[in-house]
Structure 1
Amino acid sequence: MEIARDIMEKVRNFETLDYKMGILKRRMDDLSSREEDVRTELDYADSLSMRKRRKTVENWLTYVGDMKNQVQQLEQEVRERRFYNYLQLQNTVDKATEEVKELAQLGAFPEGVTLIARESGGLTMPTTELVGKKFKEKKIMIQESIRNDKMFCIGIYGMGGVGKTTLVTHVYNELLNHSEFSVFWVVASQNFSILKLQSDIAKAMNADLKDEEDVSKRAAILADTIKRIKNPVIILDDLWDEFSPESAGIVRGGGCKLVFTTRSLKVYYRMESDIRISVETLSDEEAWALFVKKLGTSGTRLTPQIKEIAESLVKECDVLPLGIITVAGSMRGVDDICEWSNALETLREATWGKDEDMQFDKVFRVLRYSYDKLKNQTLQECFLYCSLYPEDHEIERDELIAYFIDEGLISRMGSRQAEFNRGHTILNVLENVCLLQGRIENCGVTRYVKMHDLIRDMALQIANESSRFLVKAGVKSDDVVDSEKWSESLERVSFFRSILFSHDISPPVCPRLSTLLLRCCDNINIIPNSFFTHIKGLTVLDLSGTLIRNLPSSVSNLKSLSALLLRSCRELMKICPLSDLRALKRLDLSGSGITELPEGIDRLTNLRDLSLALTVNLRTIPEGIFPRFSHLQRLKLHTFDGKAKVRGEEIASLRKLELFQGKFYNINDLNIYLSSWEKSCPKEYRLLVGDDLYFQKITFEMEKSVHITASQDLKSLCRLDSLKKASDLRLCTVDNCPRMTHLFCLACYNRPLVQCLEYLNLLVEIVQVPDEDQDQDREANSSIIFSTLPKLKILNLEGLPQLRSFCSSRKLVCDSLKNIHIEGCPNLERLPLFREDSFPPTSLERISVSEEWWESIKFDSPNTRDVLIPFLATFRT
C-alpha cells in the first residue's frame, strides 16, 4: 500500500513540475514578445537618428537573452527528468519563473527605451530691423555669450520663419564693427557633409586646404588656421545635421566661438552647446507693429475696414515674422479693399506658392524645407494627416496616434502600448523640427499637438498637389461641396466640425479613399444607404458626434474597414450588420444610443479595441461574447448606471488585454478575474462590482496612481485608511472634493510619495500642522523647521482661490521638484519650496506661472527671484 502511495506521490510531483514548467514557458513567451517590441522600437529610433539607447535597456536585453538560454536548457532537463531529481528541478523552475517575472517588470521602462543624446573681414549683410522686446533680449544674450570666455558653442533654436537668421545677422553685423573679433558667416549646405562644411569654412576664412581630401587632415589645416585668427566667431546658419566641431577643425580654445541656428531640436541638443537660446514668436502687439512697419505708409491707407482685414492677415501668419514680413510686403501700396479681401481669402485657401502676385512662395519654401527634410515617408504622411483637423485645433496625441494605427501608418506590434510608443516617437520628431507645437498639460506631460496656420496651409498645399486630400474641417460657410470635388484620386477627406457635407450628392466614386472624417458635423442626421457603395477601400470611418439615427447599410460592404468610430452618436439606435467587417480592429460605440449590440459583432474576431462606455441605453451584454475576441487589447464597458455587467471568466480569457474598464456581477466574478492576473495583468483598469462600492474598503498597496473624484465628505487623505500602505504611490489626483481643506497633516505628510498634485479645489494648505506644533514653532527661536516631500517631482496647482500656503508655520521643502505650474492661486504669496543651502535645486527644470503672479510674490532672499529666472516660463492671464 505504501509503495502505491509513493508512486502516486511521484506521479503528482511529475504533474506539478509539468504545470510549473508550463507557467514558466508562458511567462517566457510574454517576455520574448516584450523583448521583440523593445528591439523594434530601438531599431525604429535608430532609423530616425533621434536618440541613443539607454544603458539599462541594453543590459536588460542581455539578461533576457541569458534567461532564454537558461529556460531552453531547463526545458530539456525537465523532459529528461528522473524520479530522484524532480524536487531539485521544481525549485529551479520556481526560481526561473520568479526571475522571468522580475525581468518582465523591469522591462516596462516607464521613461522609455531611449533618451535624447545630449546635443546639445566681411561685408555687412542686409537684414530687417529687430522687432519686439524678446528679440532684443536674445541678441544681448548671444553677444554676452560670445564675450564669455567659458563659452564655446552657442545654439539657437526656433521654428522656420521665426527670425533666427535675422537675429544672428544683427549679431554678425555688429561684430564686424568690433576689432576684437573676427566673424565668419557660413550657411549649412542642405546636403550636409563634414567635407562640404570644411570647404565652406575655408572659403569664408580664405584658407587653403591644399587640395587635401582626407577629412582628418583638412580638419588639422583648419584648426591651425583658426588658431592664428584673433577671437574667431563662426556663425553657422540653418544647421540640420549635428556634428562634432573638432571633426571639422573647429577647436575649443583661443577665443574661438561657434554660433549655430537650427530648426531641429535633435541638433539643438546633440551639438553640446554651452548655452541654448530658444527664439519664440512675437506677441500679438509686436506682430501688428511689425506688419504696419513693413507695410509702410506710402500710398497705403488703413481704413477701419482694411485694418480689420489686415489684422486677420496677421493672425493667419500666426505671429511668424517671416510670414508677416512677406505678406506685408505683398500688400504695400494697396488701397483697394477688394485686393485686401482677396489676399486674406488667398492665404486662407492655401493657394499661395503658386500665385506670383502674392509672393507667398517665399514662406512656402522655408516651411516646405522642414517637411522635405523629414525624408521618411511615414513621418511625412503622419504630418500631413494632422492637416485633417480644423485650423488652430489642439489635437490629442493619443487620438491622433490611434488614427495612425488605424491607417496603417504605424505597423501592428506585439502590444498596443508599443504602437503608441512609436506614435509618440513620430510626434516628438515632428515637434522637434517645429512642424508641430506641443502643449504641456498637467504633470508636465505633452498631451496635445497643434499646427501653426501657415504650416497647416503648407501641408494642405502639398497634399493637394496630387488632389489627395479634400479638407473642409471647421468651415462654416453655406457653400456645400458638390459631387465634382469627390475625385477618384482622393485618399483622405475631412469635414470635421463642418456644415459643408451634403448627403444629397450621388454616391461618390473614390476607390483610393482610406480615411473619411465626418465627426462633429451637427448637420448630419441621415446618410443614404448607398453612400459607401463605391468607396470600398475605406480604412477609417469616423462619424462621431453626428446626429445620425441609422448606420447606412452600405457600411456592411466596407471589407477593408479597420476603424468604425461612432462615439457620442446619441441618436444612433440601429446599426447595420457588421459580420462582414472581418478587418475591423477598432469599434467605438461609446456614448451612442444603442440598446443592444450590433448583429454580427461576435464575428469580428480581429478586434483590438472595443468601447461600449457610457452607452446609457445598453442594459445587457450577452454572455459568452468576449472570449471570441482573443486579440482584444482595450475594452471599455463602464456606464453611468452600471446596468451592463460581465462575468469574470470571460474577461480573464482575454490574455492580451492592456486596458479594461467594466463592472462585474459580484465579488466572485471580481476574484475570478483577479486570479487570472498571475498570467497576465492589464496596465490600466477601472473595476466596479455589483451596485455598491465602498472606497474605504479598498487597499492600495502596489498602486502607482490613485484618482479621487467627487467625494462630498472627504476632508483629508489622512482619513483614508486605504492609503496607509500605498508605498508605491506616485500620482495622486484629487478632483471636485469641496470639503477638502488639506491633503495630509504633518504627522503623516510623507505617507503617500506624491509626484503630481492637480485640481485641488478649495484647498487651504497642502500640509496641515497641528495646533500644538504651531505653538512650539512660534516659540522656537532656532533655525527654521523643515517639512519635506522628498519624492515630489511635479507640482501642479490650478484654480485654488483659497490656497494661502503650502505648510503653515513650517517651511515645506521639495528637493526633487522638476516642474512647477501654478495658475489661479491669487492668495498664494510665497514659493517656499527650496532649501537655501542647495539653491537652486539641481532637479529644477521649469516654473510655469502668470506674469502678474510672479511679479507679486515675495521671497525670503532678494537674490532668489534672479536665480529662478532661467527656469521661468510665464504666461498672461
Structure 2
Amino acid sequence: MEPVCPFVGPVLDIFSRLWTCSAHSTDYVYKLKQNLNNLEISFNSLKCQRDDVIRRIEMAEGNPTEPAERTNVVRDWLQRVQALEIEVQKILDDNEAIKNQGGCYFFCWGRKNCWSAYKLGKLVFLKKIVVEGLLSGGNFQDVTYRCQPDPLQQIPTVEVVGMEEKFNEVLESLISEGNHVRIVGLYGMGGVGKTTLLHKVNNHFSEKEQFDVVIFIVVSKDLNLKSIQNHIGKKLGVSWRGETEVTELYDRAQNIFKVIENKKFLLLLDDIWEGFDLEIIGISKNSMQITGSKIILTTRNKQVCGFMEADKRIKIECLDEDQAWSLFEQKVKQEALSCHPDVPEVARKIAKECRGLPLALIAIGRSMSSKTDLQEWQHALHTLRKSASQFSGMVFQLLCITIFVSFFSPKR
C-alpha cells in the first residue's frame, strides 16, 4: 500500500479543485435570484451615490466666486457608472420580461435552459462585483479642483515711431483722469497702429499691479458675444458647462459679473466693427465706477466709440512725413539704402506712398530690406504708385502690394 500513497495527495487536490469549480457553476444557477436582487440593491445604491457626487460637482462648478472643474478621476468614475447603468438595466429588464412571460430560470429542465441560466447567473455575479467596486471607489473627498485664472501675459509687439505721444495720452486717461473716465475709445483707419498701441498698453500693465486682471480680446468683424465671454471667463478662471443657447448668454453674463464686480480690471477690446451693450457680456459700468476698472477699445469707426459710450475718444492718425521716413528707414536698414546713390531718394518716395500707415511702412520696409539693386527699387516704386491709388490706403491691399514687390521684382 505504501507505493500508492504518493499519488493520493495530488488526486485529492484535483477532486477538490473540480468540486470548487462545480460549486461556483451551480451557484451561478441556484443563487441567480438572490444575486439579481443583490445586484439591483447595490446598483440603486450606486445611482444614489452618483447623484450625490453630481450634486456636489454642480454646487462647486456653479459658484462663480470660486470657479471649479471636476477632477479627471471623478470624470472617469462617472463615465464608468454611466456605461454600467446601461448594462445592468438591460439585465434587469430582460429578467423582468422573462418573469412577465411566465418563464423562470430557476428550474432549468433541459440542457438549453440550464446553459442560459448559467450564462446569466455568471454575468449577474460579475456585474455585482463591478458595481461593488465602483461603490467603494466613489467615496471622493474632493470632486472638483479650483480653476486657476490665466496669468498676465505679454504680447509681442513692434516699436513704432511717433506712437509714444499717443501711448502717454492713453496712460494719462487711465491713471490721472479719475474714475469719471471708464471707457477710452481709440479710433482711426486700418493699419494706423491702433492694435500696436493696445499691445503696448497690455504689456505695460501686465508688468504692474495697478489692475487685478488685464484681459486682451480681439473682437473682429463678425461679432460673437459668446466668444468674448469665453475669453473673459478663461482669464478669470470661470468654467462653462453646456452648449450655446439663447438663455445661456444671460447665465454666463451673471457668472462673469459675480466674479468681476469686486475686481479692478482692465479690458482691452481690439478691432470692434459694431457696438454692443457691455452688460450683455457681464460688464457693469456702475461697478466699474466703484472699483476703478477701465476699458480701452479700438475701432475704425468713431460712431462705435459713441455706441460703446466711451468717456474719452482719441483719434489715432497717420504718421507725418518725417516720422514715416524714420520708421521706414528703421525697417529697410542702412545696407540696402547705401547700395546705390539714388536709392535713398527712391526709398523716400516709397515711404511717402505708404501714406503714413505704420503697418504698411513696416511691411514694405521689411520686404525692401533685401533689395540691393536700383532697378528693383524703381520697379517697387512704380508698382506701389500704380496700385495704391486704387485702394485709398486700405492696409490689406497695401500688404498684397508688399507681397507683389517681394516676389515679382525684375531680379526674380
Judged with a 3 Å threshold, the aligned counterparts in structure 2 of structure 1 residues 264 and 184 are, in CA distance, closer, same or farther, namely same
Determine if the alignment matches structure 1 residue 224 to structure 2 residue 258. yes
Question: Percentage identity across aligned positions?
Answer: 34
Determine if the alignment matches structure 1 residue 159 to structure 2 residue 189. yes
Which residue does 2:118 correspond to in 1?
A: none
> Alignment partner for residue 139 of structure 1, among 163, 167, 176?
167
Q: Residue type of the partner of 1:167?
A: L
After TM superposition, give the deviation of residue 340 of structure 1 in Å: 0.7
Distance 1:211 1:251 in 2: 24
Judged with a 3 Å threshold, the aligned counterparts in structure 2 of structure 1 residues 274 and 338 are, in CA distance, closer, same or farther, namely same
Q: Residue type of the partner of 2:343?
A: I
After TM superposition, give the deviation of residue 276 of structure 1 in Å: 0.6
- Contact 2:337/2:344 (<8 A) preserved: no
User: How do 1:89-488 residues align onto structure 2 when only pairs under 5 Å count?
Assistant: 121-132=151-162, 135-147=163-175, 148-181=178-211, 182-211=213-242, 213=245, 214-229=248-263, 231-252=264-285, 253=288, 254-298=291-335, 300-301=337-338, 303-350=340-387, 391=389, 453-455=392-394, 458=397
Measured against aligned partners, the alpha-carbon deviations of 1:605-655 in whole angstroms (never above 9, x if no partner) come to xxxxxxxxxxxxxxxxxxxxxxxxxxxxxxxxxxxxxxxxxxxxxxxxxxx
- Contact 2:202/2:214 (<8 A) preserved: yes
SS of aligned partner of 1:287: helix
Distance 1:272 1:196 in 2: 22
Distance 2:343 2:386 in 1: 19
* Highest RCO, 1 vs 2 (Cα 8 Å, sep ≥ 6): 2
After TM superposition, give the deviation of residue 154 of structure 1 in Å: 0.9
Judged with a 3 Å threshold, the aligned counterparts in structure 2 of structure 1 residues 334 and 458 are, in CA distance, closer, same or farther, namely closer
Distance 2:274 2:372 in 1: 45
Unaligned runs of 5+ in 2: 1-150, 402-412
After TM superposition, give the deviation of residue 452 of structure 1 in Å: 6.9
Distance 1:457 1:172 in 2: 25
Q: Residue type of the partner of 2:346?
A: I
Distance 1:158 1:346 in 2: 26
Judged with a 3 Å threshold, the aligned counterparts in structure 2 of structure 1 residues 177 and 319 are, in CA distance, closer, same or farther, namely same
Distance 1:275 1:263 in 2: 15
User: How do 1:677-826 residues align onto structure 2 when only pairs under 5 Å count?
Assistant: none
Distance 2:294 2:313 in 1: 14
Q: Which moved more, 1:205-214 or 1:181-190?
A: 205-214
- Contact 2:161/2:327 (<8 A) preserved: yes
SS of aligned partner of 2:379: helix
Judged with a 3 Å threshold, the aligned counterparts in structure 2 of structure 1 residues 318 and 302 are, in CA distance, closer, same or farther, namely farther
After TM superposition, give the deviation of residue 223 of structure 1 in Å: 1.0
Q: Which moved more, 1:318-327 or 1:249-258?
A: 249-258
- Contact 1:186/1:204 (<8 A) preserved: no
- Contact 1:316/1:453 (<8 A) preserved: no
SS of aligned partner of 1:238: strand
SS of aligned partner of 2:190: coil
Measured against aligned partners, the alpha-carbon deviations of 1:149-189 in whole angstroms (never above 9, x if no partner) come to 22211111010000001111111101011112221111104
Distance 2:392 2:344 in 1: 20
Measured against aligned partners, the alpha-carbon deviations of 1:219-257 in whole angstroms (never above 9, x if no partner) come to 11111121243x210101001110111111112222221
Distance 1:311 1:248 in 2: 47
Q: Residue type of the partner of 2:170?
A: I
Measured against aligned partners, the alpha-carbon deviations of 1:791-830 in whole angstroms (never above 9, x if no partner) come to xxxxxxxxxxxxxxxxxxxxxxxxxxxxxxxxxxxxxxxx
After TM superposition, give the deviation of residue 139 of structure 1 in Å: 0.9
Distance 2:397 2:346 in 1: 21
SS of aligned partner of 2:356: coil
Which residue does 2:406 correspond to in 1?
A: none
- Contact 1:185/1:204 (<8 A) preserved: no
After TM superposition, give the deviation of residue 210 of structure 1 in Å: 3.1
User: How do 1:586-665 residues align onto structure 2 when only pairs under 5 Å count?
Assistant: none
Which one has the bigger helix percentage? 2
Distance 1:329 1:457 in 2: 16
Distance 1:190 1:283 in 2: 28
After TM superposition, give the deviation of residue 296 of structure 1 in Å: 1.9
Which one has the bigger strand percentage? 1
- Contact 1:185/1:234 (<8 A) preserved: yes
Unaligned runs of 5+ in 1: 1-120, 353-390, 392-450, 463-877
Measured against aligned partners, the alpha-carbon deviations of 1:428-468 in whole angstroms (never above 9, x if no partner) come to xxxxxxxxxxxxxxxxxxxxxxx875349949x99xxxxxx
Q: What TM-score, normalized to structure 1?
A: 0.26
After TM superposition, give the deviation of residue 291 of structure 1 in Å: 0.5
- Contact 2:160/2:358 (<8 A) preserved: no
Measured against aligned partners, the alpha-carbon deviations of 1:291-329 in whole angstroms (never above 9, x if no partner) come to 001112345526441111111111111111111111100
Judged with a 3 Å threshold, the aligned counterparts in structure 2 of structure 1 residues 456 and 183 are, in CA distance, closer, same or farther, namely closer
- Contact 1:189/1:196 (<8 A) preserved: no
Q: Residue type of the partner of 1:191?
A: D
- Contact 2:190/2:395 (<8 A) preserved: no
- Tell me the matched-pair count: 240
Judged with a 3 Å threshold, the aligned counterparts in structure 2 of structure 1 residues 208 and 160 are, in CA distance, closer, same or farther, namely same
Q: Residue type of the partner of 2:260?
A: I
After TM superposition, give the deviation of residue 288 of structure 1 in Å: 0.4
Distance 2:396 2:198 in 1: 28
After TM superposition, give the deviation of residue 138 of structure 1 in Å: 1.5
Judged with a 3 Å threshold, the aligned counterparts in structure 2 of structure 1 residues 235 and 324 are, in CA distance, closer, same or farther, namely same
SS of aligned partner of 2:196: helix
Judged with a 3 Å threshold, the aligned counterparts in structure 2 of structure 1 residues 457 and 263 are, in CA distance, closer, same or farther, namely closer
Q: What TM-score, normalized to structure 2?
A: 0.54
- Contact 1:235/1:260 (<8 A) preserved: yes
SS of aligned partner of 2:272: coil
Which residue does 1:395 correspond to in 2?
A: none
After TM superposition, give the deviation of residue 261 of structure 1 in Å: 0.3
